[in-house]
Amino acid sequence: MKNDIKKNHSKIVKIGIIGTGILGNAVGLHLLRSGYELTVYNRTKEKTNKLKINGAKVVNSPKNVAENSELVIIIVKDANAVKKVSFGKNGIVDGRHPGLTVADMSTINPMESKKISKIFLKYKIIKLDIPVMGGPNVAINGELLLMGSGNKERFDKFKNIFNKIANKVFFVGGNGTAHLIKLSMNIQITMLALALSEGITLVKSAKIDPRIFLDILNSTYFKTGMSENKAYKMIQDNFEVTFTLKNLKKDISTITDTAKLFKINLPMIEKAKSVYSNAINKGFGDIDYTGILAYIEKINKIQLKITKNNYKNKFIT
């Protein structure tokens, strides 16, 4: 019965995705597997191939996506990219029709988010903010956390789709609010990756097996999802990309820009910005953000991988 309702709904709502990078691909595949009709566009067309094989209609512009969709989800890099696909040549607004709704999942500056919503309104289009927590590995199963803001009535209209994309959905207020909270979430991600990396580096420098450090950390109040999961990949030098280090640095810059706009001082994120920037300058930008460990190990000339014998700790006599 529940599935029938979803099936019927999927016939009604045509969804579009603009931006099929790491996150857009996973969200798109999940929607296709859930029975939705999907139209997609990406600036680099090859990145739509997997979605096409799985049944998505691939078109040549954001305008074409809008023409084919009732709900257009934008999942691109930053506010400039959102403006480009929305208001640039053959942008979303050129494909407008009554009933078109836009929802922006990109992580962007909240003040830009507000401005973009206002421009959309001039074209009589409602733009919702739907930034998410979680990467492609959970997006593929519809297990993201979604923060919504903007027009509540319109948000509720598409809520069953947001519930399909995410297993935790929050509505938090007017346009810009969700993006501001999302940036505050990314402060946590930034600091957790750094704190784990520095802890791992310190124990490795004393030739103590970092697994021991993680096992003890995970037996305390200070454990996190990151320390319980990704950290074990980090100590194996497994930085398989789910969210690039350069995209996290993009978010850190957005956080510091936003802090300036709000006239507040966030000293640790300023420091983190220079660490992540240096990592990018040394060539670590395209690996996973947890690869900040590899950079910290590099500056400390630590390259010990876990083998049976190389963790004879310095304190054993």
Ligand X SMILES: NC(=O)c1ccc[n+]([C@@H]2O[C@H](COP(=O)([O-])OP(=O)(O)OC[C@H]3O[C@@H](n4cnc5c(N)ncnc54)[C@H](OP(=O)(O)O)[C@@H]3O)[C@@H](O)[C@H]2O)c1
Indicate which single residue of 107, 175, 177, 227 sits in contact with ligand X (rule: CB under 6 A). 107
Q: What is the DSSP string of 134-176?
A: S-HHHHTTT-EEEEEES-HHHHHHTHHHHHHHEEEEEEEESTT
CA-based max dimension of the chain: 77
Minimum distance between the CB of residue 22 and ligand X, rounded to whole angstroms? Answer: 4
Q: Which helix (H) or strand (E) holds 111?
A: helix 110-122
Determine if 44 is a binding residue for ligand X (CB under 6 A).
yes
Phi-psi region of 103 (alpha: psi -120 to 50; beta: other; left: phi over 0): beta
CA 16/CA 161 separation, integer angstroms? 12
Q: How far is CA 216 from CA 208, 212, 316, in A?
A: 13, 6, 19
Among positions 39, 48, 247, 258, the unique one binding ligand X when judged by CB under 6 A: 247
Residue whose C-beta lies closest to ligand X: 21
What is the nearest approach in angstroms of ligand X to the Cβ of residue 187? 14
Residues touching ligand X, count (CB under 6 A): 27
Contact set for ligand X, span 60-99 (CB under 6 A): 75-77, 80-81, 84-85
d(Cα 284, Cα 278) in Å, to the nearest integer? 9
Site for ligand X contains 47 (CB under 6 A): yes
Minimum gap (Å) between residue 88 Cβ and ligand X: 8
CB of 175 or CB of 244, closer to ligand X: 244
Residue 143 burial by Cβ neighbours in a 10 Å radius (0-12, 13-18, 19+): middle
| Residue 254 near ligand X by CB under 6 A | no
Least distance (Å) from ligand X to the CB of residue 55?
A: 19
HSE-CB for 237 with a 13 A CA cutoff:
12
**Shortest reach from residue 266's CB to ligand X, in Å:** 19
Integer Cα distance of 117 and 101 in angstroms: 11
Using the rule CB under 6 A, give the single segment among 14-22, 159-167, 266-274, 292-300 that binds ligand X.
14-22
132 binds ligand X (CB under 6 A): yes
Binding site for ligand X (CB under 6 A): 19-24, 42-44, 47, 75-77, 80-81, 84-85, 106-107, 132, 135-136, 242-244, 247, 251
